[in-house]
Structure 1
Amino acid sequence: MLGLRSRWQAVITSTVVLSLLSSGVPVWAKQDGERRGHIQIEAREELSIDTASAKPGRSELMVIQLSGPVRQEWVDEIEGLGVTLGDYLPDYAYIGKLDRSQVKRKLEKLAYVTKVTPFQPVSKVAPALRSTLGKKRDVEVAVIGFDRRVDMRRTVNSLTLRDDVEDMQTPDDSEHISIGTMSGEALEDVIASDDVIAVVPVPANRLRNEVASGIIHADELSSSGYTGAGQLVGVADTGLDTGDEATVHPDFRGRIERLHAVGRPGDTSDLSGHGTHIAGSILGTGAASDGKYRGMAPDARLVMQAVETEDGGLETDVPTLLGQAYEDGARIHSDSWGADDEGAYSITSYLFDKFLWEHPDMTAIVAAGNVGDTGYQSIGSPATAKNVIAVGASESDRRRFGSQADDPDEVWRYSSRGLTEDGRIKPDIVAPGTSILSARSALAPGKNFDRIENDRYAYMTGTSMSAGILAGGVAQIRQFLEERGEKSPSAALVKAILLSSADDLAEDMRLQGYGRANLVNATKTSYKDVKEGIKTREKATYSVKVSDRSKPLAITLAWTDYPASLAAKRALVNDLNLTVTTPKGEKLNGNDFFEAPYNDEVDNLNNVEQIWIKEPQKGTYTVTVQGYNIPKGPQPYAIATTGEWTRSEPEEESPSKVREYNATLTVKKPYQEYRVRAMKKGILTVSAAWEEDADVDVYLYDSRNNLLASAAREDNPEQLEISLKKSGVYKIRVELKKGKQAKYHLRIAYPGY
């Protein structure tokens, strides 16, 4: 099925195309404001689950497909019929549990329900596990239940023989998930249950510095007094030096809030050196070097969670780690570990997203991975989670150490690359990660480091180091925000500020994300933290003033999204849209900066959208945030810009004439046309509103029947605004695109005398 957005994409919708054509610039030529990568941001609208063939069986679980963006009144009516709604599935569908056939018939009669189909057991199994079905081979899996209040460990044990299942564990605060080992035979029994909606593999996590080996302006920020004071940083890593506060490395004395022995009971020492090095980059005081080798935020305090086990593995129970640090007071969490699972949205990614949705003031920083030499889509989980800040590695400036640290404006060749498996832009940002000098654990052998500086300090390389450096930078930014009166700044705000202010390295965005962190620029952004959120069809409008053309204009929208269903093939749940109108009337869409025109693709994949213009015009930009599809709302968001917030000032324009019409469109008479004569150049606006469950589009043509603009979304009302360049006759066409009929009210305002 070709989605409404795909159809809308084919229609030229803004005057930006007119300006390109009139200036004689071909639309395929590279323009100011383009980013490198040519990334597809608009996925085809379809049901995003794996519909592998299977014999239909009896089941109370159904996929309820809706006709378009989810409205709260639809959800209320469906649940009023006795349907229990579970996970949301892109696009516009839910997994629902129906206990009677009559309910299915009632559902199918609802005008906005297009289909009700059984949710087949085989669709619950991740493709990587299907080859094990029915076999005796054991696999480590996570079983996800339909009801979030039901203990899945009990359910799994009741469905299978005890001998087929081993060590089933339930993460804290996630009773509907059970993780353990089972045979392929047991797996067949589990997926047959209506209590189960997905079974996925468990990734094998490891550290993010396998090469063992003041670019972001943290030093400038520190000299201004932003040293992380009042900030608590949680670090899940191998441990901290000796693990004893009395004998710990001098750079951490007086900076430790708590030490948690997670991997080895009673032992928080660091035998590998990784955790000590990361912690030093975040908040080391430099006491052992007379202040020479300090971390980004030396006045922050540390919650270290020593996760390395006796056998050198990692104990990474995400809800426990994040919850423990949060209870201690940490609102920043650094995670320099993960699995190289080729862009997958894993159970680990899901658990990060779930916790961060429930605790929106917690910022999690995750290393992207170190296998970028294998190519694109090499980023691993949990860096693939929507709500974390995924950090890649740029090079340091230590030319004497060779090519991996000789150009700070390059991304390290081993830094793992995007996109994610479902096409999202990751990493989010990069920070220096090669030949990083930081604290050395007294218990770690010299072979674990790139180079040894002395008994107290050593060099290491990897995205682990980048994540630690950015975590320290986030401590500085949170201190700045709190001192500016932001109470409990959201993680979405921190992300929006960092991405708006990042330095563009002119690299492919699959390598650099939105750029390299620049902490000083971050403190110069204008921002809003909108915690009350918006719902489907709601809009918010802001004005941004640009007075300096010498620096790029960035406007970034970020939101902490609802955790994705692990039965879905795409991760985005709540879909917001960012649009910007320039001072010349050109309209731009968020993330559509890879190839002109910049208004023909609408992002339905990412929970970050940005407008980026290398050489912006001076003047006022109108910024609109729209709740396109919010099935799990309302959705809070944050927006940050390198411009300045301002109140919109009325432009000088010709007085408007207004015409209003009431009419009805039907299948037999699907469109109506109106003509107006503009007496001067100026602004023409059109608005069409209706009450029925229908879709109406509006088109504007000149006197030669050339399409100038359109409003062809699922908005109600549909609205368009265009700056007419000359007087003359213009035609407005109102057309029924979906539904049986639409009684509409049309308002046209255009330049008069």
Structure 2
Amino acid sequence: MRRWPFPLLATLSALLLLCGASAGAHRIELAAAPFEVDLGEPALPPELRVAPEALDGEGYFLVQARGPITPEWREELEAAGARIHGYIPEHTFLVRLDGQARLRAAGLSATHWVGPYHPAYKISPGIGTQTFVTPERMADPRLRLMVRVFESPEAVSARIGELGGEVLDYTDDGFSRRFLIRAPREAVAPLARIPEVWWIEEQPEFRTLNNATRWVVQSNASGWTPIWDQGLFGENEIVTIMDSGVDYNSCWFRENGNAAPGPSHRKVIDYSLFGGNAYDGCDLGHGTHVAGTICGDQSYINPGNYNYNGMAYKARLTVQDVGADDWAGCNFGSVNVPSSLTSAFNASFGLNARVHSNSWGSTSNSYDGYCVDVDNAMWTRPEFLVCFAAGNSGPGGSTVGSPGTAKNCVTVGATQQAPNQETIASYSSRGPASDSRIKPTVTAPGGESPNYIVSANNHTGNPPSPTCLSQGDPFQGTSMATPAVAGMALSVRQYFRDGFYPQGVAGGDPIQPTGALVKATLVSSSADMGGSDIPNNNEGWGRILLDRALFFEGDTRELIAEMVSPGLATGQSWTHQVTVDDTEELVVTLVWSDYPGTSGSGVAIVNDLDLTVTDPGGALYRGNVFASGQSTTGGSADRRNVEECVRRRNPASGVWTVTVTGHNVPQGPQPFAVVLNGGFADWPPEDFSRALEPRPARGPAAVTISPNPSPDLTRIAYRVPQGHAGPVALVVVDATGRVVRSLVAKGQRGGEYTVTWDGLDDMRQPANNGVYFARLTAGDQAATCKVVVQR
């Protein structure tokens, strides 16, 4: 159901349509009333303006600089007596000033304008327009409002009561103070007139966003799982899901003797209630299904059976249960999300989880308080990565829902399941975000009838009973796509932590990747699905295909990864030169976890970095300036997104220069990560010369097997001839020549390599005892070796 704004807000919106269309260097991007200061303040209702007599006293003001904010001007502003509360594009701080401090701030040489923070600026234009599905919210004549305050929460609470409101919750997480209240519609304007109130928005209604996936996101070649083949199963990684709960007695999660979750549990190391019950109680266990997709592992019951195991099935799990296991929860998917997410993120990080997966959301397209929580979590904890489902409100534009509209998180859209993984699911929410940022970030299979996503399902006994139930129908949605991406994020973390970088083999020095580096790797891996050229508001940067980004020994497509900290201030730059050959597409991806946006700002970005890449001939490519699916010259710098990419399908050979510049960094310095994929003549990077040199090829193509016969794991050593740089295929075939398992299918240079066959076929079923052959093809050379499976 859609409800319309009450008359005061409708009048305000109409006024802003007339006055808010200008654009210029001195525009202030307020969510409620964007305006160009050189043309004067917007026309506001008198009751929503600061009274003239109050301007000389202490209060809240907007202070705009003449250009990008420098550390020097910020220091001068604070020395003048300003207390900074937030940043609003362009070049504006929201501050508290007394009368004398206001005069001093206005007199600074770099100050362009100072003006009051009017009550009208505090009211979200989305109030009264939310869509609800549960009978409780649909029938409620009152509004549920999130009220953020600058200070004096006790005084604000008293005033809420005087206005007929009811305080449902209050949180102070150290970063923001906010009330969740239930109030009559006519209370909104009086609330905005309270000086200590910062921002008022309507609380959205949150709900869940309901086996081939593993090879689709790893290689997109049927049955081929190169990430798993390298032993990257999420081992020693911990992930948190916030969802409807998990049936931890399911065989995908169960411990010996049905032990309760705890630090020594093989799978569920913590189970905490954040508004839900102590297990997944609906007939269709949404949380159990999601957890199974990320890290379910049924080897406890069925050793060697990998059917429907999760993307990172050796990872462990913490559960934050927000399930509403009542009629509304089970029929509408509603969840009891806390009014602040900060305590949940704190708890997750404290349990050593570094990926937080969320298959729930709302229909609000705005940058709201929950988005602030997400961005603050990733800003204050650089190793943390949060994933959110885009939503199931497609195919219309601007339907991605909060909190997936946060800047720093990976927002996941859904494709259909294989064999239709190149088609976006019709229900998958589309971008952009309300401030025109690219959303979703990436996509993964979420299924669409009749090809659903199969994963673990719960048993609804109370308490849950041991079960090995799995289910597909009716599980489809961005809820199903998000855990697939979260699982691959765990594999990326393991890749760096296990020392695969830079030489592509385990055992190098471990690297603790930031969330920005993991996100940059996922974005760099993404492949254009066809249809609209990337980046676009259907698929973002495309469907993740992790083998495009992670380098393994012998690959012709290489990886350079950089984490730069403490990062850049306004006007500073970082430069990296690399010698590129023309054998591979060149992809350069910049990602940073930005400072959280300011409540009341219509544009979320705070610290704005710019990516430029210059080719050997001097042609300059700016981040996110694309035509026909690849970078083009010209255009202007991106002023919205915290992901910037340059991609060239056929790069010129020679020295390329990558530059990252701090355009405007008011809350700096700003750390960042850069990932480069392509063919590099000067690879591996000099910074990593400590790593082992590649083993040279000696002689023609060859294959050797050990042990042979093999009861389980077979080590296959193979040699690609010296001078080869192109496609290599290594398959296991049976005596009839039928391909049983594809082990290698990618470009490799001449060298000696090893891969392990786990004795499973491409459907992850154990191969029968008998004689097989490992067959290698590299250019015009081939080699074959007999393999005997004997269990």
* 1:207–1:300 distance in 2 versus 1, CA, 3 Å: same
Instruction: Say whether residues 1:526 and 2:560 are aligned partners.
Output: yes
CA distances 1:440-488 after superposition (whole Å, capped 9, x unpaired): 212299xxxxxxx984443521111110111111111101111224543
Instruction: Say whether residues 1:438 and 2:460 are aligned partners.
Output: no
Match of 2:93 in 1: 94
Question: Is the Cα contact below 8 Å between 1:203 and 1:346 reproduced in 2?
Answer: no
Q: Which SS does the other structure have where 1:569 is aligned?
A: coil
State the Cα distance separating 1:415 from its structure 2 match.
Answer: 1.1
* 1:477–1:198 distance in 2 versus 1, CA, 3 Å: same
Counterpart-to-counterpart distance in 2, 1:512 and 1:43: 31
**Structure 2 unpaired stretches of 5+:** 1-22, 34-41, 131-139, 220-224, 500-508, 552-558, 684-791
1:592 alignment partner AA? V
Match of 1:5 in 2: none
2:88 alignment partner AA? L
The correspondence of residues 333-348 of structure 1 with structure 2, limited to 5 A, is 333-341=356-364, 343-348=365-370
State the Cα distance separating 1:158 from its structure 2 match.
Answer: 4.6
Match of 1:652 in 2: none
Counterpart-to-counterpart distance in 2, 1:461 and 1:425: 23
Counterpart-to-counterpart distance in 2, 1:151 and 1:229: 47
Question: Is the Cα contact below 8 Å between 2:160 and 2:167 reproduced in 1?
Answer: no
The correspondence of residues 493-508 of structure 1 with structure 2, limited to 5 A, is 493-508=517-532
Match of 2:611 in 1: 578
Match of 1:360 in 2: 382
* 1:541–1:385 distance in 2 versus 1, CA, 3 Å: same
Match of 2:404 in 1: 383
- Identify which of 137, 140, 143 aligns with 1:139: 143
Counterpart-to-counterpart distance in 2, 1:281 and 1:130: 36
The correspondence of residues 469-618 of structure 1 with structure 2, limited to 5 A, is 469-484=484-499, 485=509, 487-508=511-532, 509-524=536-551, 525-549=559-583, 551-594=584-627, 598-618=633-653
- Identify which of 365, 384, 393 aligns with 1:371: 393
Match of 1:109 in 2: 107
Match of 2:476 in 1: 461
2:320 alignment partner AA? Q
Match of 1:320 in 2: 343
Instruction: Say whether residues 1:54 and 2:67 are aligned partners.
Output: no
The correspondence of residues 120-519 of structure 1 with structure 2, limited to 5 A, is 120-129=118-127, 138-146=142-150, 150=151, 152=153, 155-158=156-159, 160-161=161-162, 163-170=164-171, 172-209=173-210, 214-217=215-218, 219-241=225-247, 246-247=257-258, 254-267=266-279, 269=281, 271-287=283-299, 290-311=305-326, 312=329, 313-317=334-338, 318-341=341-364, 343-373=365-395, 375-397=396-418, 406-434=419-447, 435-443=452-460, 455-459=469-473, 460-484=475-499, 485=509, 487-508=511-532, 509-519=536-546
Counterpart-to-counterpart distance in 1, 2:25 and 2:397: 22
Counterpart-to-counterpart distance in 2, 1:72 and 1:396: 50
State the Cα distance separating 1:409 from its structure 2 match.
Answer: 1.5
Q: Which SS does the other structure have where 1:590 is aligned?
A: strand
Counterpart-to-counterpart distance in 1, 2:265 and 2:477: 26
* 1:620–1:444 distance in 2 versus 1, CA, 3 Å: farther
Question: Is the Cα contact below 8 Å between 1:153 and 1:168 reproduced in 2?
Answer: no
The correspondence of residues 665-744 of structure 1 with structure 2, limited to 5 A, is none
Question: Is the Cα contact below 8 Å between 1:283 and 1:297 reproduced in 2?
Answer: yes
* 1:182–1:488 distance in 2 versus 1, CA, 3 Å: farther
* 1:176–1:249 distance in 2 versus 1, CA, 3 Å: closer
Q: Report the RMSD for the aligned CA atoms in angstroms.
A: 2.9
Q: Percent identity?
A: 29
Question: Is the Cα contact below 8 Å between 1:543 and 1:645 reproduced in 2?
Answer: no
Counterpart-to-counterpart distance in 2, 1:387 and 1:437: 29
Match of 1:402 in 2: none
Counterpart-to-counterpart distance in 1, 2:173 and 2:95: 25
Counterpart-to-counterpart distance in 2, 1:43 and 1:439: 53
1:573 alignment partner AA? V
Q: Which SS does the other structure have where 1:493 is aligned?
A: helix
Question: Is the Cα contact below 8 Å between 2:284 and 2:457 reproduced in 1?
Answer: no
Q: Which SS does the other structure have where 1:229 is aligned?
A: coil
* 1:625–1:644 distance in 2 versus 1, CA, 3 Å: farther
1:107 alignment partner AA? A
* 1:495–1:395 distance in 2 versus 1, CA, 3 Å: same
Q: Which SS does the other structure have where 2:376 is aligned?
A: helix
Question: Is the Cα contact below 8 Å between 1:242 and 1:269 reproduced in 2?
Answer: no
Question: Is the Cα contact below 8 Å between 1:392 and 1:416 reproduced in 2?
Answer: yes
Counterpart-to-counterpart distance in 1, 2:172 and 2:24: 33
Deviation larger for 513-522 or 188-197: 188-197
Question: Is the Cα contact below 8 Å between 2:245 and 2:277 reproduced in 1?
Answer: no
Higher relative contact order (CA 8 A, sep 6+): 1
CA distances 1:72-107 after superposition (whole Å, capped 9, x unpaired): 11011111111212211100011121112x332322
Q: TM-score, normalised by structure 2?
A: 0.69
Question: Is the Cα contact below 8 Å between 1:165 and 1:183 reproduced in 2?
Answer: no
* 1:221–1:45 distance in 2 versus 1, CA, 3 Å: farther
Counterpart-to-counterpart distance in 1, 2:166 and 2:381: 33
Question: Is the Cα contact below 8 Å between 1:242 and 1:270 reproduced in 2?
Answer: no
* 1:68–1:622 distance in 2 versus 1, CA, 3 Å: same
State the Cα distance separating 1:597 from its structure 2 match.
Answer: 5.3
Counterpart-to-counterpart distance in 1, 2:274 and 2:101: 49
Q: Which SS does the other structure have where 1:127 is aligned?
A: coil
**Structure 1 unpaired stretches of 5+:** 1-41, 398-405, 446-452, 649-753
Q: Which SS does the other structure have where 2:348 is aligned?
A: helix
CA distances 1:96-147 after superposition (whole Å, capped 9, x unpaired): 21112x3323222222111111111011101133899xxx96311111223x
Q: Which SS does the other structure have where 1:170 is aligned?
A: strand
State the Cα distance separating 1:360 from its structure 2 match.
Answer: 1.7
State the Cα distance separating 1:527 from its structure 2 match.
Answer: 0.8
State the Cα distance separating 1:526 from its structure 2 match.
Answer: 1.4
Question: Is the Cα contact below 8 Å between 2:269 and 2:316 reproduced in 1?
Answer: yes
- Identify which of 643, 647, 654 aligns with 1:619: 654
Counterpart-to-counterpart distance in 2, 1:616 and 1:104: 53
Question: Is the Cα contact below 8 Å between 1:160 and 1:190 reproduced in 2?
Answer: no
1:383 alignment partner AA? G
Q: Which SS does the other structure have where 2:324 is aligned?
A: coil
1:359 alignment partner AA? R
Q: Which SS does the other structure have where 1:531 is aligned?
A: strand
1:239 alignment partner AA? G
State the Cα distance separating 1:293 from its structure 2 match.
Answer: 2.4
Q: Which SS does the other structure have where 2:335 is aligned?
A: coil
Counterpart-to-counterpart distance in 1, 2:285 and 2:24: 43
